[in-house]
Every structure is written in C-alpha cells, then in structure tokens.
Structure 1
Amino acid sequence: MTYEELLTQTALADEQIIVMTAENRALVRNLPGILGKRFIDTGITEQTMIGAAAGLALRDRVPVVHALAAFLTMRAFEFVRTDVGIANLPVKLSGFIPGFLSDANGPTHQAIEDISIMRGIPNLTVFAPADEDDLIKMLPEIWASDDPAYTRINTRQTGYEHTPFEIGKAEVVAEGSDVTILTYGLLFEQALIALEFLRKEGLSVGLINMRSLKPVDEEAILNAASQSKLLVTLEDHFLTGGLYTIVAEVLLKYYSTARVLPIALSEKWFKPALLPDVLQHEGFTGKQIAEKILGYKTRYQQPPVLTPQFSE
C-alpha cells in the first residue's frame, strides 16, 4: 500500500478528514478527483494553509496537510505553534522531503532542524518513519490520535518488515552489549548496513528505530544505555535539538549517563547531489558509519569515569 492509497482509504471511511496541500501534490495527485471539496490546495501559502486547517479542526474536522518539510516547519512555524500547538488541535502535518531526502536541494529547501523546532511546540507530537512500510504502519495511529502531529514523510522501500506501531514506543530491531545504534527515518537503512559491518568485526550490536520522537520511548533509551558500552545517535539532522539532544535529556532526567557518539550534521548544511552521493560525501553510508564507530571504540575502550569538580 502507498501513502496515497492509505490516505484515500482513510478519508473515504471518515468524512471528518480533510486533505490539504500548499501546492505539493506529488504523493496525493489523485485525491482531488476522489475527495472533491474535501481536497483543498491553498497554493504556495503554508501559513494560510495552517490557519485554515486550524479553523477546520475547530469545526470537528481532521486536516491532513502537505508541504515541503522545510517550509511547513519554518515558514509556517508561528502558525503551527499558535493556531495548532497552543490550541491543541488535531491537525496532521505531513512534511515532504525531510533531511537527506531533499538530496538535490540547497540549504533553503533542506529540513535538517525540523525535529528540533517541531518538538519544541506545546502538544505537538513528532514522528519519523524509517521507510514506506514503517510509514504505512504508523500513520493510522497518528491520524486517529486527538493530538496535533508532525510526520517526516518517507516513502522509500527498504524491504524491511517493521513491527506494529504504538505512539511513544520505539522498535527494538536488535540488542547489543558493545554498541547500540539509535536512529530514525532515512538513515535506518544505512544503520542496518552498519550493523552487519560491525557484527563481522565481532561486535555485539543493537539497533533501535526510534520512530516516535515526541513522545519518545524513554525506557528503550535507558535500557540501551544500561546494556551497551556505547550508544550511537544517527540522524540526518543538525546535532542540536535532535536525537542526540533527546537522549541527553532522557539520561539527565533519570540521573543516568552513557558514552554517546553522535553522528549528525554539525553547524553546516549538506552539499546537494543525488542521494547516494550525498550520503557518501557527508559520511553517512553504512560502511562509513561503521568505520566511525570502530574508530571511536578504538580511542575509548574504557567506560566513562566522571570526576565532578567543586569549588567553594
């Protein structure tokens, strides 16, 4: 089943659902003829679309809105925050080409801070499916929830069959005592490759598809921290505010610590190219990820020792 087929099926079964777009019809191009007046294209006006969606939600509708992730989260930020988040309305935000999926686009079209800014909005939930199978398993729960939601849309096919989805729960793919990779979205498929590389090196490797970033599965993070000598946060997002920050917040909340290697974009946008070339150039292929982990483990074989310094 595709994204459009799922949305069509869901909308035909529930007349409360309204499909909206800011002139981004790539994944919903057949819906105008099917839904008629329940399909609304506002043009390139993300702020207007969000304001209209909030108004429809106040009238017991469930708007599923579509735009490029960069513009949906940044250009319309104030409207999402004020009209949707603060009001706690069930508007469902579908962000197209997030992270490295915006491979051929420059910085203006790269959504690599979207997780950070969306999870800071009150009441808004945040999700990042690993691939199309994960997306199709996740969206029915997300759309059925009364909460506003932002989802990184990812329709890539990986051949991996995911477990059923529950909001606030991660998918534990494998457990490991040496290394556990925590990731979400597009880089899940590269994490699978990295896992196999590391296992060939004799390491016990775990992999967790975080998929639900707000609410996040705190138990999964804490279990991984207690079971593995090293946690790796892997994401096509800026280092600040993404999964690395989420893990730090969880560990601090529960008076815990861990050795954590973040693999993310740090203070720079990625160079536009075809996706395989972007991954290679930025160092995010499965092989490169495994090499970074092996290099880190070589430098730090012992568990962290904290020596607090106090001054009077």
Structure 2
Amino acid sequence: MQDILSQQEIDELLESLTSGDISAERMKEEGEKKVKVYDFFRPNRFSKEQIRTIEMIHENFARLLSTFFSAQLRTAVDVKLLSVQELSYDEFIRSLIVPTVMALVRIEELGGEMLLEMNPVLAFAILERLLGGKGDGAEKRRPLTDIEQTIIMKLTSRVVRILAEAWHHILPMRASVAGLELNPQFVHIIAGNEMVALVSLEVAIQGVKGLMNLCFPYILLKPITGKLSARYWFSKTEQEGVQGTEQKNLLRRLGNAEIPIVVEIGRSTITTGELLQLQVGDVIALESKASGDIDVLIVDRPKFKARPGLVGEKLAVEITAIRREGDDNG
C-alpha cells in the first residue's frame, strides 16, 4: 500500500509538473530500476569493508617501503598504492608479461603462499642503482642472471619483512621468500578460477616508474577475514599505540645504521716550505699535550673526549668526557 499516493501528494505532483520544477523525463529516469551485474561464475569473496581494510594496511606498507627503498638506493623513491581489486588467479597470471620477477612468499601462520611480482623495468632500475649505475630504467626484455637473481632475492626478503610489519595489527606473521620465478605460467599456488585480492603499487625511482603487485589468495586470508575490518584495525592500533609502534620501528632502524667515528690525535700548523722538506723520520710537534685527552669525532663533529691506549694488540680509546655544544676546550 506504500506505492499508492494520497490526493494531496497527487495535487503537489501535478503542480510541480505544471510549474516545471519536475520534468516527466526526470521522473522516468528516477523510476527506472538500477540493475547490478553479478557473475555467478566469479562470486565476490571479499566484502567492501575487507577491501578497504586491505587498502589501509598497504597504504602503511607503501610509506614503509618508500623509506626502505630511499635508504637502500640512496635516492628519493616514492611508493603509492594504486588499487586493491578482486579477480581470479588466472586473470592475474595472464595480465603479466614474460619474463617478469615473481617471488613466492610463504606465510607460516596462515599455512600458505602469496605472490610478490615486480615489473622487469622496476627490477632492472633497482639492480642498476644497487650496483652503482644510474638506474635510468632502460627496458630490458631478458631473464635475470644468477647474480641478479641472488641480489633481488635478498632485496625481496627484506621487502617481505616490511610487509609483515605492515600486517602486524591484523596478524603478527613470519613471512619468508620460498623461491623466485621468472615465468608466471609456471607458478600454480591455487586453481585458476580461485579468487585473489590483488594489491597494485607504483614505485617511482627518479624518472623510472614500475608496478609491484601483491597477490593474496582468498583461501589464504580466509582464516582472518573476520579481522579485516576498520573497527578491528583501529581498536588494535589504539591498544598498541600507533605512534609508539612507529617510534620503536624508527629507533630499531636507526640502531642498525652505521656511523663513522674518527679519533683525532692532534693538530699542528706548518709552512709550505716545511711541508715540501718533510722526510721520513722527521717529527711534527702537535698542539695537544701528551698527557691530555684527545677528540673523538662523530660525522666530523667532536662529541667526546678520550684517552688513548691498547686493547690486546689494537689501539683503542677510553671515553673520559662528553663534549657539549660550544665547548671548544672540552
């Protein structure tokens, strides 16, 4: 009975049509039912909320990966999430070129595998930068050599650890690279008609852009689909503290950074004439005292005072004081 209009509603409708506020064509368009196409041969496995949660996870992964690549390649690298879509495994495999770079990633907690695929243009640009080249991304349609595969394997292993870090709020996982394949047609982790979540990332290294794809089979993520929700994501981040986690990750990375240390025994000033006459056996008197402390420099800046000595058969210094800003005399 809800479709029957009252006399007042009929009068208002006729008045609107007469005044031109509503056109008959517009009413016809609004009255048409919208039909959504549904393919029974490819049923959707992931809900919209689950897809959105996967997007949030990999937006964080893209930020972490940008930092990692920038440090490894010593240049600005921008990684951004392009899309997360659901499609069949066969469609994903057929969309790849041959040869490509595909890593088989084993996730112990879920008892299965996912795939990490890297476009050859991107792979060769990374290899060139790591080996001292410009990394101009000149297109090469050839398989990787054994040495190149070893380098990419090690790099991919570190990328996978960063991926596990991005998934930490949903599932603390141990992920490892089980193998590297150049022909996607030889990789059969699931049946071709099974559905997967495909995460596509764009990696930009200077003027070179390439795609990196992450393929998550639905049967792999099925045990944790209940956790793939924005509510669960935010509750976990609030419990653990996002800022605290990021700070710990940053401190851990800084803790592994190598810093050069220089111990300066002393300084002196001589003339150019004296420099030209120096011979083996000549003695140069330094400004510092033999019984005094010497400077320890961190990245060319004096940070500590120390006393020289020996540890076994090697020279060593013992820190005696910390130099403060503006302290020239120690």
TM-score range, shorter chain: under 0.3
Return the TM-score normalized by structure 2.
Answer: 0.20
More strand by share: 2
Rg: which structure is higher?
2
Return the TM-score normalized by structure 1.
Answer: 0.21
Q: Tell which has more relative contact order, 1 or 2 (C-alpha 8 A, sep 6+).
A: 2
